[in-house]
A and B are shown apart, each in its own frame.
Chain A
Amino acid sequence: MNLREQLRLTWWVTLRELVDQLRDWRILLPMGTLILFFPYLMNYAALRSIDFVNQYGGNLIAERIVPFLLMVVGFFPVTVSLVVALEAFVGEKERGTLEPLLSSPLADWQMYVGKLLAGSLVPLAASYISMGLYLVGLLIQKIPFPPLDLLIQMLLLTAAQTVLMVSAAIIISTQSTSVRAANLLASFIVIPAALLIQGESALIFWGTNQVLWLAIVAVLIVTALVVRLGLAHFQREALIGREIDVLNLRWTLQLFWRRFTGGAHSLGEWYGKTLRATLFSMRFSVLITLLVGVFAIFATQLYANSWLGGFKLPEDKLSEALTQVQSSLLDGLPGSLSFGYIFGNNLRAEVLVLFFGVFSFGVGGLVIYLLNFALIGGVLSVVSWLGLSPWGIFLYGILPHGILELPSVILSTAAVLFIGLRLITPQKQSGLGETLVESLADWAQVSLGIAFPLLVLAALIETYLTPLLLIRFLTLP
């Protein structure tokens, strides 16, 4: 069967779902009301807000209110029609219509994509109709249109967010055992989506279109990863086999422990076999993390150099600044930072990488890691600008503890990235929950076995040795 025929089968699944949705008054009525009423309400809100802020000369805010409300108008129909996606699979299971579909020759991806399209098309159409009505309202009320690029950004953001939310809802639908459970889990979509909208609103009011483009790209990447996650863990067997919603803590802990120990009977065996095997399996993640780190240092340095190059301080000011930096370093260094503070700070950074990484397939964690490495590049660039040797600072101020701290951060971040990679990779033997627990056990292996002990040693060096070396360097003739 060629691709076109395969896509046609996918379309039949979509079409059936669409017809079903459009025959259900429980979907049509609230959706229709929202489409027709909400844009009118937002038009009114825009008019009143503009009048209000204009009284105080807030023209800039007034300009931004219009696209902000456009985005809000597009967002609401998606949240309402999310219920359709939430019951895409689990609803069919409850109604007993899933098994004939699963017994059909449709491939997993055809069923999944068919449902995803059906779940996305109605809310997207509803959003765009709402946005269109809102724009018509602006015309009627003679409110100036937002700039074209901002308009395109809003349309793209709405589409990306719709697919993101719907695909997340479909994942919930495949993992839940009842529509009720799926609806309860919907807050895990709506709340982050609302936070995302708030962040995007801040960008709109901030007025940085370039950053908004980056935000759109980021949302699109996360959307693609969520779709991939759903496809990777779509299993007919899990859909039909899972019957009861039970959080089996004992099973979870046993699975975690089994994976963590890897069947090792001694610490030596654990390091020699289990941890070694885990590190080998995450070698590509380590390589990617390492490359990202190196890139972050050099890219920041290049960027900072080009930026700082434009600022030429007079010789005497530069010398004064350098003296100030040196004296503040010398005064502040000995004993200023305790072991506990340094270790705690680094530990917090690695846990933060995990926290943000788990919810973003490793991407959020990698961004935090990237910022840390970028900081090194920035510091080296600034000290160079001040006339100090960056190599000297690196050798005396970073390398002594960095030789342990940097591998620790790299390995810990790689383990987080590996969680994301495993989540979006089809796992034949394990479901989504199982994969997540196993990946967290891998992270714990690497962190407790290598990364955290390295952090302890690095913090000891940074507390007691690095300041001495740095003083020596700064007082060199």
Chain B
Amino acid sequence: MIECQDLTKHFGAFQAVEGVTLDVPEGRVLALLGQNGAGKTTTVRMLTSILAPTRGWARVGGYDVVEHPNQVRASVGVLTEMHGLYARMTANEYLDFFAKIYGLSAETGKRRITELLEYFGLAQAANRRTGEYSKGMRQKLALARALIHEPLALLLDEPTSAMDPESAQLVRQEISRLKSSRRSIIICTHNLLEAEMLADRIAIIYRGRILLQGTLAELRRQLLGKPEYEVTFSAPVHLTGLEAVPGVEVVSASERSLRYRVESPDSVNPGLVRALVSQGWPVCAVQAVPHSLEQIYLKAMALAARGKL
């Protein structure tokens, strides 16, 4: 479990992180989104006991980050912004070194190294120096390092950056597997599609403050308002009288389509469709207008820049 409340970090007069409150229970993934320099890395560093909070508290795996820094570090796996590989070491040596400093026995270490190298498709390159690795291979090895001690919590900064689609898929599968094995995971990413796919909750951080936090549906509702639907017609129609349908807020109407917002689609949509059909209008399809995380994120950033969020 990862939890923090009012977590704050000031560097002199500069407020890097201000009052961040997060809760990531076991088996959940939180995506922390934000611009470069928004405070994501500082938050992660506080959660790994590298930086001491100026105010507030945080617990990772049940340990307080200030009181028990070594226990926190032992129970968390971190994928940092840079891979952090020693160029003159082989993958085997690199993972062996981290297995040892995480206190794994020789036998367990060996087993974990074999498992991880196999899983990430690096077994063939296990005895090559990491300096010779491609970007994607380095990223996979760094992720293997973060997982070597089977941590309770994972803090992953851009886990699939620089990876080819197959490798990225592999990593996403691994994150899903870890999630189902009751790990608490925070992903810092600019890949919004990935965040949408993996995260149970999303937090948007802007200039050190959490602007919004919730599930995708909650954020969608909060920022973009009521769900939006579109009706398409197979022949041109002249739409009239729709104002009379209760609960429907027309966004746009043309001869071939109708866009509207509705508070309770489950109860309103069937009645609306019946009304359209009863007018003799050839309804071809009714579908929800998709709002991606990208739209939500960009709206949030725009509002924040104008000081309206």
CA distance A316 to B142 in the complex (A): 91
A237 lies within 8 A of chain B by Cβ: yes
Evaluate whether A240 and B51 lie within 8 angstroms (CB atoms) in the complex, with A13-B101, A16-B97, A100-B145 already known.
Answer: yes
CA distance A240 to B50 in the complex (A): 8
Q: What size tier do the contact residues of chain B reach?
A: 20 to 34
Measured CA separation A105–B74 after assembly (Å): 5
**In whole Å, how far is B236's beta carbon from the nearest beta carbon of chain A?**
61
Q: Which chain A residues border B78 with CB–CB below 8 Å?
A: 99-100, 103
Contact between chains at A12 and B100 (CB < 8 Å): yes
CA distance A98 to B84 in the complex (A): 7
**Chain A residues with CB below 8 A from B11, complex form:** 241
| A23 interface hit (Cβ, 8 Å) | yes
**In terms of DSSP, what is the predominant structure of the interface of chain A?**
helix
B83 interface residue per 8 A CB criterion: yes
Residues of chain A lying within 8 A (CB to CB) of residue B83: 96
In the assembled complex, the CB of B76 is this many whole angstroms from the nearest CB of chain A, namely 7
Q: When the two chains form their complex, are residues B102 and A105 in contact, meaning their CB atoms are under 8 A apart? A: yes
Question: Which A20-67 residues have C-beta < 8 A from chain B?
Answer: 20, 23-24
- Once A103-B48, A103-B50, A105-B74 are accepted as A-B contacts, the answer to whether A23 and B88 lie under 8 Å apart by CB is yes
Q: Is the CB of A103 within 8 A of B88?
A: no
Asked if A104 contacts B101 (CB within 8 A), the reply is yes
Give the chain A neighbours of B88 by CB distance below 8 A: 19-20, 23-24
Contacts of A20 in B (CB 8 A): 86, 88-89
- B73 contacts across to A, CB distance below 8 A: 103-105
| CB-based contact B50/A237 at 8 Å | yes
Query: Bound complex: CA of A167 vs CA of B170, how far in Å?
Result: 45
Within 8 A of B (CB), among A67-126: 95-107
Contacts of A5 in B (CB 8 A): 103
* Complex Cα gap A20–B130 (Å): 13
Is A236 part of the binding interface, using a Cβ–Cβ cutoff of 8 Å?
Answer: yes
- Flag if B100 contacts A9 (CB, 8 Å): yes
A99: chain B residues within 8 A (beta carbon): 50, 78, 80-82, 84
Question: Do A236 and B84 have beta carbons less than 8 Å apart?
Answer: no
Complex contacts, A236 vs chain B, CB 8 Å: 49-51
Taking CB as reference atom, which chain A residue is nearest B84?
Answer: A100
Residues in chain B near residue A95, CB distance under 8 A: 87
Inter-chain CA distance A105–B49, complex, in Å, is 10
Number of interface residues of A (CB under 8 A): 27
Interface flags for B174-193 (1: CB within 8 Å of A; 0: not) read 00000000000000000000
Smallest beta-carbon distance B48→chain A, Å: 5
Q: Given the complex, which residues of B lie within 8 Å of A13, measured CB to CB? A: 101
B97 & A103 in contact (Cβ 8 Å cutoff) = no
Q: Is the CB of A104 within 8 A of B80?
A: no
The reply to whether B51 and A241 contact each other, CB–CB distance below 8 Å, is yes
Q: Roughly how many angstroms separate A100 CA and B157 CA in the complex, as a whole number?
A: 12
- Interface: B35 (CB within 8 A): no
Q: Is the CB of B45 closer than 8 A to any CB of chain A?
A: yes
Residue of B49, B50, B81, B85 touching A97 (CB-CB under 8 A): B85
Q: Does B70 contact A (CB under 8 A)?
A: yes
Q: How near does chain B come to A364, taking the closest CB pair, in angstroms? A: 33
A-B contact pairs, 13 of them (CB 8 A): A9-B100, A13-B101, A16-B97, A19-B89, A20-B89, A24-B88, A97-B84, A97-B85, A98-B84, A103-B80, A105-B73, A106-B101, A240-B45
Q: Taking beta carbons and an 8 Å cutoff, which residues of B are in contact with A?
A: 11, 45, 48-52, 70-71, 73-74, 76, 78, 80-89, 93, 97-98, 100-103, 142, 145
**What are the nearest 3 A-B pairs in CB distance?**
A96-B82, A105-B74, A100-B84
Residues of A that sit less than 8 Å from B by CB: 1, 5, 9, 12-13, 16, 19-20, 23-24, 95-107, 236-237, 240-241
